[in-house]
Amino acid sequence: MGCQTSDIKFDGNSSFEWLEKQCEFGPRNPGSQGYYDCKEFFINNLMEYSDTVFTQNFTYTELQDKNTYDLTNIIAQFNVASEKHILLGAHWDTRPWADMDLNPSNHSTPIVGANDGASGVAILLELAKTFETNPPPINITIVLFDGEDMGVDGVNNSWAKGSQYFAENLPIQKPDLGIIVDMIGDSNLEIPIERNSYRVAPDLITELWELAKELQLPAFQNRLGYDVYDDHIPLWETAGIPTIDLIDFNYPNKRINYWHTLNDIPQNCSSESLGQVGRLLSKYIYSINP
């Protein structure tokens, strides 16, 4: 066990402030002012917490409106001297279209993306702040992936463009494993086991879910859920990094949908949910023998 593990406390309230701050920039869909302002915000804050921060730039022409965008993955590393190496990732872009909104007149309106975008990043920024004062026992790479949410239904590779580019042009030493966090801010948080994750990294899934039980984190449901095409898929299929996805795709439940709608706002998220996920990841990371 890592000697620091009992001293590290993940702050769900502080993490929620990161979520709210992102949403204050407005939608962060590529090409928007919120996108550019928030990118600068991320880079400046990560540079404060880590000595190793860099960007990975690429372009993508999305399929819906056929617009081409310059996109950016943002990468920060901690304790790079360690041989053990884990990637933590989340997408920072938000969907340009509220195409699942019940009001058809909103379908071309960008979403704020409090849960689908800001929640995963909020976890990682709070962890980065923790790593600055309490260096992790192993090499941690945090990647904020761009271009995850410009896809069209039925075309898997139109999603997760940032992780596709990252996996095809790996800019770091290959990590031993990866953990993606996406849509984990839902006030009614239930995280089942994503099916692709279990196929690729069953031992990691088992370890995390047992740890969640030990920590009494009820959001982690010991059952198989959906299989989801998310940033973890290219990391495994292209780069060979066994990667899992922590995701609650029912937002907020099976009957009501805030996903890709104008209702994806901070009021439908909670610090308690972020706290559960952050506590699990913090405990896991600081318990690893270097």
Nearest to 73 by CA among 90, 51, 48: 90
For residues 13-40, average pLDDT: 98
- Respond yes or no on whether the N-terminal peptide bond of residue 252 is cis (omega within 30° of 0): yes
Poorest-pLDDT segment among 7-11, 57-61, 67-71, 247-251: 7-11
The token pair at 219 is 């959001």
Of 245, 139, 236, which is closest to residue 183 (Cα–Cα)? 245
What the block records as the tokens of 184 is 């984990």
pLDDT of amino acid 290: 87
pLDDT at position 8, please? 87
Q: Which has the closest alpha carbon to 71: 88, 90, 93?
A: 93
pLDDT digits (tens, 9 = 90+) for 224-277: 999 999 999 999 999 999 999 999 999 999 999 999 999 999 999 999 999 999
Nearest to 86 by CA among 181, 175, 193, 191: 175
Domains of the chain: 5-68+89-133+142-286 (3.40.630.10)
Task: Say how far apart CA 191 and CA 177 lie, in whole Å.
Answer: 20
The model's confidence at residue 73, banded by pLDDT at 50, 70 and 90, is very high
pLDDT tens digit sequence for 180-235:
999 999 999 999 999 999 999 999 999 999 999 999 999 999 999 999 999 999 99
CA distance 4 to 6: 6
Helix, coil or strand: residue 256: coil
Segment 60-77 mean pLDDT:
97
- CA 204, CA 188: separation in Å to the nearest integer? 24
pLDDT band at 1; cut points 50, 70, 90: very low
Q: How confident is the model at residue 6 (pLDDT cuts 50, 70, 90)?
A: low
192 CB contacts (<8 Å, ≥6 apart)? 221, 223, 224, 225, 226
Query: If you compute the radius of gyration of the chain from its CA atoms, what whole number of angstroms results?
Result: 17
**Which amino acid appears at position 138 of this protein?**
I
CA distances in angstroms from 218 to 130, 210, 211, 214, listed in the order given: 24, 12, 11, 10
pLDDT tens for residues 93-152? 999 999 999 999 999 999 999 999 999 999 999 999 999 999 999 999 999 999 999 999
Task: Tell me the CB-side half-sphere exposure of residue 245, using CA atoms within 13 A.
Answer: 26
Per DSSP, the three-state class of 230 is coil
Dist CA 150 CA 117 (whole Å) = 12
